[in-house]
Amino acid sequence: MEGRDTPSAGLDRAEQYVIDQLTSYGFQGAGEDGAFLRPWTYPQALETPVAEDCYLQIESGELEGEELALRKDFVPFPGAGGQAVGELVFLGHGVHAPKEKYDDLKGGRLKGKIALVLTEEPRHKKKLEGPEISEAANAYTKLAELEKEGLEGVVFVRRPAATNAVDDKNKPLDEGPELDLQEFGFHHTWPLWNDPRNDRNQKAALPAIEITPELASRLLGEDVLELAAKMDKSGRTVRRDLDGLTVRFGSATEKRTMSADNVVAVLPGSDPALAGEYVVLGAHLDHLGFDSRGRLAAGADDNASGVSAMLEVAQAMAAAGPRRSILACAFSGEEDGLLGSRALCKDSPVSISAMVTMLNLDMIGRGKDSEAIVLGVEHNKDLGRVLKDALKLEKTGIKKTITNKGEELWQRSDHASFHAVGVPVLFFFEALPISDNEDYHTWRDVPAGVNFEKVGNTARLVFNTAWLLAQDDDRPDDSRR
């Protein structure tokens, strides 16, 4: 889902996926008037398109006069405002790296034209920097080099990012899954990775927009993704002079206050005496997006692993019929400082005092199958008893829970928002120290690195824990309130 940045069209699609799953289990929306989405306001103004100043017109060829729509066919490129008009020329990935013996710009005769270029660089093992994606593939670097050649503007083709995913036969998938692109999303932010640099501070040398691969294929007269795949295989540059095909575009953005959503859903309890109390299942759905080089923050471990497990637990709970109600939450804005969970605790769909315990799942896909870190016992001893009983209730595959280490992580995930308002919490995590996970907050956190057995084992432990909390006559000690 393009890295599920907050806010983004990819995150919106991921939220809808979670809603569809929870609905199929029998959960109901816990928001206003039964809605599954509970909005909150982002605390900082974010760059976003100015609709009235963004346009794309084709002034010759088969697409002449066709109405092309913002957020359907194109979006402005961040920080690359302005207008441009000129004949279109396809320049592969637009990478200028002569020291690496690769140059999409060779051949000249580019002055006054508009470049049509793919994001990223060729996915070739021996060209440039391979899977790491080189600085020459940075869109702002490309804009600077293309400006030197005298071009008027750039039309980027957003290529679906490689995910290192595998199919059901464990064969690699070269591209990410096909998505129902109801909205072609704009990059409101870039990821920071574990790196002090921020692409958002780079200056764009030319006005630029991004278009869909479908529109690019129509402009080229051939499938642009098939052409990209051929360049991946050959490692060679490809140029197409589209003489007579003139395009005109405008790119404009401004800072604006925006909103985001948490997914909130409830499974009503079966016991009228306890149905007014809730066991909260939580996991953050957001991640970092993808950067101006095209490096995707897939966030497979962080935190598709936790959301997947939460959904499995929710489905099992619906089948089992607990006495207390279950409140399932998929948070946005966690990567920006627990923004979504803080907003939910400030404006909760149910009373905070009615929350028996919050169980948080964040990054449970790495490490030994039989181990899980569970934080919170040091803050609420009664939950230690529940956890021990959960290990004995049914076999989970988890033989060791680490509960007395990792306090440096205590404030770093969404359970902290609930702990701050007095709700007893348990935080299920994977391994310590987090610095040992070299893929954390990088583009290398992909599905191939996830230990699915461990995710399943941890999900079983969470189910056992949630079941005991939902069935017991008494609540765990909540004297912190």
pLDDT of 66 over the 60 cut = yes
Question: Is position 4 within any domain?
Answer: no
Question: Is residue 63 located within the same domain as residue 176?
Answer: yes
CB-based contacts of 184: which residues, under 8 Å, 6+ apart?
9, 71, 72, 73, 74, 75, 158, 210, 212
Burial bucket for residue 412 (CB in 10 Å: 0-12, 13-18, 19+): middle
Q: Which of 254, 285, 315 is the last residue of a domain?
A: 254
Tell me how far apart the alpha carbons of residues 464 and 470 are, in angstroms, rounded to a whole number. Answer: 10
Q: Which of 227, 254, 281 is the last residue of a domain?
A: 254
- The lowest-confidence range among 121-125, 310-314, 354-358 is 121-125
Angle of helix 306-320 relative to helix 452-471, nearest 10 degrees, comes to 40
pLDDT reported for residue 133 = 78
Question: Is position 481 within any domain?
Answer: no
Element (H, E) at 209: strand 208-211
Q: What is the pTM of this model?
A: 0.91
The chain-wide mean pLDDT, for the chain, equals 90
Cα pseudo-dihedral 72, 76, 77, 79, rounded to 10: -150
Question: Is residue 172 located within the same domain as residue 265?
Answer: no
b/e 368-381 (16+ beta carbons within 10 angstroms → b): ebebbbbbbbebbe
Token pair of 266 as six digits: 């409830």
Question: Is position 91 within any domain?
Answer: yes
Domain that holds residue 185: 48-254
More confident residue, 175 or 234: 234
Residues, the chain, total?
481
Question: Is residue 392 located within the same domain as residue 451?
Answer: yes
pLDDT reported for residue 477 = 78
Question: Is position 111 within any domain?
Answer: yes
pLDDT in tens, 161-197: 775 555 555 555 555 555 555 688 999 988 877 765 5
**Strands (DSSP E) along 411-470, which ranges?**
425-429
Token pair of 173 as six digits: 């998938």
Question: Is residue 227 located within the same domain as residue 269?
Answer: no
pLDDT reported for residue 134 = 84
Question: Is residue 305 located within the same domain as residue 246?
Answer: no
Compute the average pLDDT of residues 200-229.
91
Question: Is residue 58 located within the same domain as residue 160?
Answer: yes
Instruction: Report which DSSP code applies to 273.
Output: T
pLDDT of 39 over the 60 cut = yes
Of 267, 370, 353, 259, nearest to 313 (Cα)?
Answer: 267
CA distances from 382 to 293, 313, 476 (A): 49, 22, 6
Token pair of 267 as six digits: 């499974």
More confident residue, 51 or 244: 51
**What HEC string does 20-40 produce?**
HHHHHHCCEECCHHHCCEEEE
Instruction: State the CB neighbour count (10 A cutoff) for residue 63.
Output: 16
pLDDT of 414 over the 90 cut = yes
pLDDT of 480 over the 60 cut = no
pLDDT in tens, 236-283: 899 999 888 999 999 999 999 999 999 999 999 999 999 999 999 999
3-state SS assignment for residue 122: coil
Of 168, 142, 164, 136, nearest to 155 (Cα)?
Answer: 142
Of 81, 70, 83, nearest to 9 (Cα)?
Answer: 70
pLDDT reported for residue 481 = 42
pLDDT reported for residue 165 = 55
pLDDT reported for residue 173 = 56
Alpha helices by DSSP H, listed for 267-405, are 306-320, 339-346, 381-393
pLDDT reported for residue 104 = 93
The alpha carbon dihedral of 465, 470, 472, 475 has a sign of: positive
Tell me how far apart the alpha carbons of residues 435 and 424 are, in angstroms, rounded to a whole number. Answer: 27
Question: Is residue 219 located within the same domain as residue 317?
Answer: no
Task: Give the chain's radius of gyration (CA, Å).
Answer: 25
Compute the average pLDDT of residues 443-469.
95
**Strands (DSSP E) along 252-302, which ranges?**
253-256, 259-267, 278-284
Question: Is position 460 within any domain?
Answer: yes
Question: Is residue 261 located within the same domain as residue 242?
Answer: no
Per the structure, the count of domains in the chain is 2
Instruction: State the CB neighbour count (10 A cutoff) for residue 436.
Output: 10
188: domain CATH number? 3.50.30.30
pLDDT in tens, 106-140: 988 899 999 999 999 998 877 776 667 788 899 99
Q: Which of 254, 281, 307 is the last residue of a domain?
A: 254
pLDDT of 223 over the 50 cut = yes
Element (H, E) at 245: strand 240-251
Which amino acid is present at 347? D
Tell me how far apart the alpha carbons of residues 402 and 242 are, in angstroms, rounded to a whole number. Answer: 62
pLDDT of 420 over the 80 cut = yes
Question: Is residue 69 located within the same domain as residue 109?
Answer: yes
- The lowest-confidence range among 177-191, 299-313, 334-348, 415-429 is 177-191
pLDDT in tens, 68-95: 999 999 999 999 999 999 999 999 999 9
More confident residue, 471 or 183: 471
